[in-house]
Structure 1
Amino acid sequence: MPHDHHHHHHPEVDLAGDRRVAAAVGVNILLTVVQIVAGLFSGSLALIADAVHNLSDALSLVIAFAARRIARRPADADMTFGYGRAEVVAALINYVTLIVIALWLAVEGVGRFLNPVEVEGWTVVIVAGVALVVDLVTAALILRLSHDSMNIRAAFLHNVADAMGSVAVVVGGTLILLYGWWIVDPIITLLISGYILWHSWQGIGPVIRVLMLGSPDSPRIDEVAHTLCSADGVADVHALHLWRVQEHRVALQAHVVIEDTAGMDVVRADLKALLEDRFGITHSSLELEGPGAACHDRALIGSG
C-alpha cells in the first residue's frame, strides 16, 4: 500500500471549498468587530483577547484562500515543482502571527494584574456566547477541507481553540457576575495566550520541516533505502535524498549501483514502479552507476 496519497484538483470541489472558506472569513470578521466593540464597552481584556484571536483566524483564512488559488497554478519555468508550497508558506505566516499575538496578549494580561479594571459581566457572557456559536459554525465550514491541507487544518484548529477560549470567557464573565472576581479576566487572558502559544508550537514544526526539505515521517528513509537495495539487479544505494515537495507529494533522488549495466533501462523502470507502488512516490530521480563507475563517496545520506 502506498504511504502517500495524491490529491488532484477538481474545479467543482475547489470552487465549493473556496466558497466555504470565504463564508468562514465573513462570519469571523463580523464577529471580531462585535467582540472588540463589546470588549471596549465592557472593559473586558479577555473579550478583546478572544476578538484578536478571531481576527487572526479570519486573516489566516484570507491567506489560506489566496494560497489555495495560487497552489492550483501549473508548474512553469519559474516554479518547476509547481506552486503547491504556497499553502505551506501561508501556514508558516499564520503560525508566526499567532505567536506574536499570543505574546502581546500575555504582556497585556500581566499589565491587568498590576492595574485591575472593572469588567461588565453581562456583556462579556452574551458576546462570548455568540462568539462560541460562530466559532463552531466556522469550524464546521472548513472541517472537510482541513483533512487535505496543513494550512486549512491550522485554521480549523485555531477555530477549535477559539471555541475553547469563548467557553473560558463565558465562565469568567459568569464568575464576575456572581462573585465580582475581576481578577478572573486577566487570568483567562493569560490562559488563552498560553494555549495559543502551545498550539502554535505544535503546528509550526511540521511546516518548517517541509520548508527545510526534511524527510517525511512516512515513508521512512531507512525503509525506502532497504527496499531499493533489496530490488533485483541493485548492488548498492547512496546519495539518497527524500523530501516533501509539498504536504502530499514526496520526491526522491538517489544514486543506484547496479550489477549489470546492460539492463540499465529495465532496472530504472522497475525501481520507479516499485517506489510508486510501495510508497506512492511518483517523482523520483535515479542516477544509475555500474560497479566500476560508482562514486567514491558512498554515504547513504548527505552526498551526491
Structure 2
Amino acid sequence: MHSSSDPADRQQRYREVRKVTLVGSAVDFVLGVAKIVIGWFANSQALIADGIHSLSDLLTGFIVLYAAKHSHKSADEVHPYGYGRIETLATVSLGILLTGVAIGISYEAIKRLNDPAVAMDFTLLALLIALLSVISKEWIYRYTMSAAQRLRSDLLMASAWHSRSDAFSSIVVLIGISGVMLGYPYLDAVAAVAVAAMIAKIGFGLVRSSTLELIDVALDPEKVSTIRQHIHAVHGVRSIHTLRTRKSAGSAFVDVHIQVDSRLSVSEGHQIGDSVRRRLLQHVEEVTDVTVHIDPENDETGSSCNDLPSREEVIAELKQRWPQLPVASVEAMTLHYLSGAIDVELDLPIEILRSTDEAKYLVQELKQAISALPYINAIQVRFKV
C-alpha cells in the first residue's frame, strides 16, 4: 500500500521557489553592479570585491532554479520515488560554496592583516552603498528563509544563508571603513576572519545535514514519535513494528508494518492500512509518501511460517488423506498461517449430508486426516446451505 505527493502540490512548490529565487537574483544583480561601479570610482578594493561576491549569488540562484525545476518532476519508472534528491545534491553544492566563500574571505583578511600597506580609500558614497547592501541582503535572507521554512526546503535555506553571507561581507566593509576613520585599519581583517568562521560553520552544517539525507538517515526522534502516535490512534491497529522513515528534499517517506487481528478479511486489513496512510498524510505535514504492510502477527524478527507448505500443497495432502473431500469445498477453504502452524477453516456444502450421523462421521474422518499433518494446528468445519 503506497502513496505519493500530488503533482499539483509539487508544481505549486516549484513556482514559489522560483518566485523567491528570481526576486533575490534581481536584487543581487543590482547590488553587485552598483558596488563594483561605486567601488571603482571610490577606489575601494573592498567594495569591488564585495560587489563580485554579490554577483556570485546569481550562480546560487541558477543552481536553485535548476534544482527546483528538476527535483519537482513527478515520479516515473526510472525514479519511482521522484527527483527530490536533486535538491539535496544542490544543497550540498551550496554548502560547499559557502565554505569556499568563507575560506576566500579569511585569506584576503589575513593578507590585509599581514600587509598594513594594503589600505582602502573610502568615501561617503562607498559607505552608503555598503550600508544599503547590508539592509538589502538581510531583507533577502529573511524573505528567502521565511519561504524555506514554509516549504521545508533545505535548498532555499542554503540560498538564504548565502545571501546573509553577502550581508556579512558588507558588514566587514563597514567595519573596515570605521577602522580606517578611527585609525585602526586592522579591524577590517579581524572582523572578516570572525565573519568567515560563521559562514564556514553554516556551510559545513548544510553539507552535513544534506549528506545525512543522501544516506537515508531517519527523521528526528520527536517526529518519529508523533508518527507512532498517529498510527496507534487508528482503530484496528494492534501494534507497530519495522517503522522506517527518511527525508527527501523537505518531504518525508514512511514505511511501516502494522499488526491487525489475524482473523480479519483481506479487505478489512487493507482498509485499516489505508486509514493509517490517510491519517499520516493529513496530520503530519512533512509526510508525502506512505507504505503500509499488513501483518497478522509480529514478524519483526522473522516469519515463523517460512517452512510451511503452500495452499496447493495443503489441499493436495488433504485430498490424498481424505479422498471424499468435496471439490466445491476447496475454494471455500481458508488458511491462517500463524505462530508456525496453519489453522484451517473449511466450508462444506450441506447437500453432502443425509443425516446428522453422517455429518459427525465426515467431521471425525476429516479430523483424523488432519491429525496426520503436523503443520495443522486446528480445523473448523462449517456446513453451509
- If the length of structure 2 is used for normalisation, what is the TM-score? 0.63
Letter of the 2:174 counterpart: V
The answer to whether 1:121 aligns with 2:125 is: no
Residue 260 of structure 1: SS of its match in structure 2? coil
Residues 45 and 113 from structure 1, CA distance in 2 versus in 1: closer, same or farther, beyond 3 angstroms? farther
Residue 100 of structure 1: SS of its match in structure 2? helix
Which one has the bigger strand percentage?
Answer: 2
Asked whether the 8 Å contact 2:98–2:162 carries over to 1, the reply is no
Give runs of ≥4 in structure 1 deviating > 6 Å: 40-43
Residues 221 and 24 from structure 1, CA distance in 2 versus in 1: closer, same or farther, beyond 3 angstroms? closer
User: How many angstroms apart in 1 are the aligned matches of 2:175 and 2:79?
Assistant: 50
Name 1:301's counterpart in structure 2: none
Q: 1:166 aligns with which of 170, 173, 180?
A: 170
Task: Select the structure with the greater relative contact order (CA < 8 A; seq sep ≥ 6).
Answer: 1
Name 1:283's counterpart in structure 2: 289
Post-superposition offset of 1:19:
5.1
Name 2:259's counterpart in structure 1: 257
The answer to whether 1:189 aligns with 2:192 is: yes
Residue 107 of structure 2: SS of its match in structure 1? helix
Letter of the 1:200 counterpart: G
Name 1:8's counterpart in structure 2: 9
Post-superposition offset of 1:239:
1.9
Paired residues in the alignment total 290
The answer to whether 1:207 aligns with 2:210 is: yes
User: How many angstroms apart in 1 are the aligned matches of 2:249 and 2:191?
Assistant: 37
Post-superposition offset of 1:77:
1.8
User: How many angstroms apart in 1 are the aligned matches of 2:166 and 2:58?
Assistant: 11
Aligned-residue identity in percent: 19
Name 2:158's counterpart in structure 1: 154
Q: Unaligned stretches of 5+ in structure 1?
A: 299-304
User: How many angstroms apart in 1 are the aligned matches of 2:157 and 2:64?
Assistant: 10
Name 2:104's counterpart in structure 1: 104
Post-superposition offset of 1:33:
4.9
Name 2:67's counterpart in structure 1: 67
Letter of the 1:221 counterpart: V
1:234-290 Cα deviation digits (max 9, x unpaired)? 34322221112330x221112223232424223322322333344354522122222
Name 1:296's counterpart in structure 2: 301
Residue 255 of structure 2: SS of its match in structure 1? strand
Letter of the 2:220 counterpart: D
- If the length of structure 1 is used for normalisation, what is the TM-score? 0.77
Q: How does 1:35-74 map to 2 (within 5 A)?
A: 35=35, 46-47=46-47, 50-74=50-74
Residue 78 of structure 2: SS of its match in structure 1? coil
Asked whether the 8 Å contact 1:87–1:151 carries over to 2, the reply is yes
Asked whether the 8 Å contact 2:17–2:68 carries over to 1, the reply is no
Residues 191 and 56 from structure 1, CA distance in 2 versus in 1: closer, same or farther, beyond 3 angstroms? farther
Name 2:312's counterpart in structure 1: none
Letter of the 2:94 counterpart: N
Residues 239 and 203 from structure 1, CA distance in 2 versus in 1: closer, same or farther, beyond 3 angstroms? same
Post-superposition offset of 1:141:
6.5
Asked whether the 8 Å contact 1:45–1:186 carries over to 2, the reply is no
User: How many angstroms apart in 1 are the aligned matches of 2:14 and 2:288?
Assistant: 23
User: How many angstroms apart in 1 are the aligned matches of 2:296 and 2:48?
Assistant: 67
